[in-house]
């Protein structure tokens, strides 16, 4: 059962009350409320680790007005799920980010923090709880299978969480994210790795950092993979994603004379 911390939920309301009013416009603004709207519907889940050794320490950080960081959920090592921000509200977890061309990932996503110091395996009870939460979120918001990503994926070069210990394959086996097991069939001739990473969602503005985040997610951070192996992995993942979306394969090649970005 999700335990809600009422005090934490009040923090966004207090901050909203302190927000500046709309600037004065000559002639004023006529307001005619329309009934045709609904609440924010998240379409992406971003997973983090806290970098902490105690869940209460992470909780203090995520609810501190001075720290100005939050997430929708925090999951302890024992599997306890704590909701900090309502799903319909925008939590402050991704920071400066990019995914699939979206530069405001916070507005489109749900952020989940896993209490873990980054140098340890994730507890089974914690991952079991995460899988249950992800199943609920996926069902309620119809989140596409490929849209379960990491903080490192959306903030390459700036963030490296969750760490190489995170069990991405297990998540994919349960329908959250995509995965390809080695050995991977070779990519076709002309297949462009940088274009492929951009097609997967990574930022083209930081190509090398995006490549390292890609390896952290799909190869446990193994930077010794050859370029051909990285191309093969990216090609396999693009096919997996495309088959999930449309049932068709994918061919990513750079046109002659084209730049990859």
Residues tagged active-site: 113
Structure tokens at 81: 């799920």
Distances (CA, A) of 102 to 62, 98, 183, 207, 251: 24, 5, 32, 16, 23
- Sheet arrangement for strand 44-49: 3-4, 81-83, 73-75, 109-114, 44-49, 148-150
Alpha-helical regions (H) of 78-119 = 105-108
How many other C-beta atoms lie within 10 A of the C-beta of residue 112? 24
Using DSSP bridges, classify how beta strands 73-75 and 81-83 pair: parallel, antiparallel or unpaired.
antiparallel
Beta strand spans in the chain (E): 3-4, 44-49, 73-75, 81-83, 109-114, 148-150
Structure tokens at 141: 């918001």
Alpha-helical regions (H) of 221-261 = 227-246
Handedness of CA 218, 219, 223, 224 (dihedral sign): negative
């Amino acid at each position: 059962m999700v335990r809600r911390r009422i005090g934490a939920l009040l923090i966004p309301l207090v901050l909203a009350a302190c927000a500046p009013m709309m600037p004065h416009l000559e002639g004023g603004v006529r307001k005619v409320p329309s009934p045709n709207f609904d609440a924010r519907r998240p379409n992406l889940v971003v997973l983090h680790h806290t970098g902490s050794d105690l869940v209460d320490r992470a909780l203090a950080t995520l609810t501190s007005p001075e720290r100005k960081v939050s997430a929708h959920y925090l999951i302890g090592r024992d599997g306890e799920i704590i909701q900090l921000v309502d799903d319909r509200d925008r939590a402050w977890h991704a920071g400066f980010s990019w995914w699939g061309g979206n530069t405001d990932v916070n507005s489109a996503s749900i952020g989940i923090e896993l209490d873990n110091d980054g140098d340890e395996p994730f507890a089974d009870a914690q991952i079991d709880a995460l899988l249950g939460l992800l199943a609920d979120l996926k069902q309620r918001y119809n989140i596409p299978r490929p849209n379960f990503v990491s903080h490192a994926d959306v903030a390459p070069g700036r963030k490296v969480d969750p760490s190489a210990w995170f069990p991405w394959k297990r998540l994919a086996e349960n329908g959250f994210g995509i995965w390809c097991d080695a050995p991977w069939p070779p990519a076709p001739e002309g297949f462009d790795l940088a274009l492929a990473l951009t097609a997967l969602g990574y930022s083209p503005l930081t190509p090398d950092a995006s490549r390292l985040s890609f390896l952290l997610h799909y190869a446990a951070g193994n930077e010794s993979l050859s370029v051909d192996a990285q191309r093969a992995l990216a090609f396999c993942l693009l096919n997996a994603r495309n088959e999930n979306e449309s049932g068709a394969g994918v061919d990513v090649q750079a046109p002659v004379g084209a730049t990859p970005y």
